[in-house]
């Protein structure tokens, strides 16, 4: 019996479905990833509220103040004093951040002009446990630096029990 | 000269897929790692009167002004919510649902547009911020059955700061 010598076979996998799926995954992640520079600070545990809906359009100019506590890994307060977090280790006690707000106002005035600086919204992202009096003190310090618009942030969701 | 016909396999061009797949996977991994799932946030506009710290004079309160007072225990928890001097309890969050209903009735009774109404919030200094946000939300409006926000009062302001003595 004659045995035919068979050629070495090369199995060519069909790559098209895999590439299709990979492109779809890339498109999905590109759409859901937020590449905007958010000024949120993860140390701040915002209160949740049903009526807190994201604004329809982004604000042109705003000053974001993250107010919260320095917490340990278990989430307990390591320091009873509330701070304004300006990124990294730049934490200023709430009652001492008047000069910092003045600097923010001066920078905004130089960049945008005085009218635009006064119309900037000061967005206060305050931790749910921060005393309301400190939030009011912050608003008052902002008013002393001629800011006129203030808003309080809350995360969307069911009200806390 | 005799030209040899070169057998090029019927004109089939083999595209190198490996570099493209490498890059595509790198992009995929980049977007997967940079993905940060954040809860959507909303905000409540708030005003505060300019001027010296002091008790607001009830004689000059306009009739369309609704006063909400939030008192706190020593640990910052809610002691009492009151609307126009009437206590609404301290059972969080049901007292804020009561406040929401009372504000809705007040808006309906005033027979005016909600823009004409103003709520003045007077929270204790040490009251936790979560209760203040709940009070602002209760005064601002409610979520309708279709999921849209029904606004009761647009103008909400803080009273002067109630510093502890």
User: Is the residue at B28 inside a domain?
Assistant: no
Q: Residue B111 is encoded by which pair of tokens?
A: 């027979």
3 state SS of A74: coil
Residue B148 · residue B128 · CB < 8 Å: no
Place of tokens 């001066």: A106
Residue range of the domain that includes A86: 48-156
Dihedral sign, Cα of residue A51, residue A56, residue A59, residue A65: positive
Cβ neighbours of A128 in B, within 8 Å: 128-130, 133
Residue A67 lies in a domain: yes
Q: A135 near B121, Cβ under 8 Å?
A: no
Which residues of chain B neighbour A29 with C-beta distances below 8 Å?
28, 31-32, 35
**Does residue A96 belong to any structural domain of this protein?**
yes
Is B143 near chain A, with CB under 8 Å? yes
Q: What is the full per-residue pLDDT of chain B (165 aa) written as tens digits? A: 556 555 555 667 777 888 888 999 999 999 888 887 777 778 888 877 765 444 555 555 454 678 889 998 888 888 888 888 888 887 877 888 888 888 888 887 775 555 567 888 899 998 999 999 999 988 888 888 887 888 888 888 888 887 787
The label of the residue with tokens 């279709």 reads B146
* Greater model confidence, B49 or A16: A16
Question: Whose structure tokens read 């190198």?
Answer: B16
**pLDDT reported for residue B7:** 54
**B163 alpha-carbon distance from chain centroid:** 26
Dihedral, B15, B18, B20, B22 alpha carbons, nearest 10: 180
Q: Which residues from chain A sit within 8 angstroms of residue B52, using beta carbons?
A: none
Cβ <8 Å between A151 and B45: yes
Residue A90 confidence (pLDDT) = 78
Contacts of B144-150 spanning 24+ positions with Cβ under 8 A: B149/A51, B149/A53
Sign of CA dihedral B48, A147, B127, B135: positive
Cα–Cα distance between B95 and B88 in angstroms, integer? 6
Q: Are B139 and B106 in contact (CB under 8 A)?
A: no
With respect to residue A92, please indicate whether it lies within any of the assigned structural domains.
Answer: yes
Residues A38-82 have pLDDT tens digits of 677 777 888 888 888 777 776 677 888 889 888 887 878 888 888
Q: Does residue A124 sit within a domain?
A: yes
Residue A3 lies in a domain: no
Q: Which residues of A touch B43 (CB under 8 A)?
A: 52, 55, 123, 151-154
**Residues near B32 by beta carbon (within 8 Å), at least 6 away in sequence:** A29
What is the rounded average pLDDT of the residues A111-137? 88
The answer on pLDDT for A3 being more than 50 is yes
Give A151 to chain B, closest Cα distance, Å. Answer: 4
The CA–CA distances, whole Å, from A91 to A77, A100, A118, B21, B150 equal 15, 11, 25, 45, 38
Look up residue B61 and give its two tokens: 């309160």
Structure token digits, residue A18 = 């895999």
Angle at B113 between CA B112 and CA B119, to 5 degrees: 90
Query: How many structural domains does chain B have?
Result: 1
Residues 25-64 of B with CB under 8 A from A: 25, 27-28, 31-32, 34-36, 38-48, 50
* Domain-embedded: residue B149: yes
Q: What is the pLDDT of residue B53?
A: 45
Distance from CA of A2 to the nearest CA of B (A): 30
Task: Answer whether B43 sits within 8 Å of A55, measured CB to CB.
Answer: yes
Q: Is residue B50 part of a domain?
A: no
Q: A16-32 vs B18-34: helix axis angle to the nearest 10?
A: 30
- Full residue range of the structural domain in which residue B135 is found: 63-158
ipTM (interface predicted TM): 0.77
pLDDT at residue A19 greater than cutoff 80: yes
From the candidates B124, B126, B130, B148, which should be mutated to test the interface with A, based on the most A CB atoms within 10 A?
A: B130
Asked, for residue B40, whether it belongs to a domain, the answer is no
| pLDDT (tens digit per residue) in A86-122 | 876 778 888 888 888 898 889 888 988 888 888 888 8
For chain B, the distance separating the N- and C-terminal CA atoms, rounded to the nearest angstrom, is: 112
3-state SS class at B86: strand
The total domain count for chain A is: 1
CB A70 within 8 A of CB A77: yes
């Amino acid at each position: 019996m004659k045995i035919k010598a068979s050629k070495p076979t090369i199995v060519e996998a069909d790559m098209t479905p895999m590439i299709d799926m990979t492109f779809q995954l890339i498109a999905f992640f590109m759409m859901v990833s937020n590449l905007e520079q958010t000024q949120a600070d993860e140390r701040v545990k915002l209160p949740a509220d049903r009526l807190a809906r994201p604004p329809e359009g982004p604000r042109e100019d705003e000053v974001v103040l993250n107010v919260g506590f320095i917490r340990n890994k278990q989430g307990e307060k390591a320091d009873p004093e509330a701070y304004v977090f300006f990124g990294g280790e730049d934490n200023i006690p709430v009652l001492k951040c008047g000069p910092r707000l003045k600097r923010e106002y001066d920078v905004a005035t130089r960049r945008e002009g005085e009218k635009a600086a006064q119309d900037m919204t000061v967005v206060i992202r305050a931790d749910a446990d921060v005393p309301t009096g400190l939030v009011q003190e912050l608003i008052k310090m902002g008013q002393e630096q001629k800011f006129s618009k203030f808003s309080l942030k809350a995360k969307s969701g069911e009200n806390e029990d | 000269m005799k030209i040899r016909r070169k057998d090029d396999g019927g004109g089939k061009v083999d595209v190198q897929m490996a570099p493209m797949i490498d890059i595509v996977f790198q992009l995929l991994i980049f977007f997967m790692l940079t993905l940060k799932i954040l809860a959507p946030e909303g905000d409540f506009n708030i005003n505060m009167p300019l001027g010296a710290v002091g008790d607001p004079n009830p004689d000059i309160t306009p009739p369309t002004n609704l006063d909400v007072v939030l008192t706190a225990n020593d640990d910052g928890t809610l002691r009492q919510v009151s609307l126009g001097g009437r206590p609404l309890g301290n059972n969080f969050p049901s007292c804020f649902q009561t406040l929401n209903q009372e504000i809705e009735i007040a808006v309906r009774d005033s027979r005016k547009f909600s823009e004409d109404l103003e709520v003045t919030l007077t929270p204790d200094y040490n009251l936790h911020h979560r209760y203040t946000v709940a009070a602002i939300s209760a005064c601002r409006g409610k979520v309708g059955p279709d999921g849209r926000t029904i606004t009761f009062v647009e103008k909400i302001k803080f009273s002067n700061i109630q510093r502890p003595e």
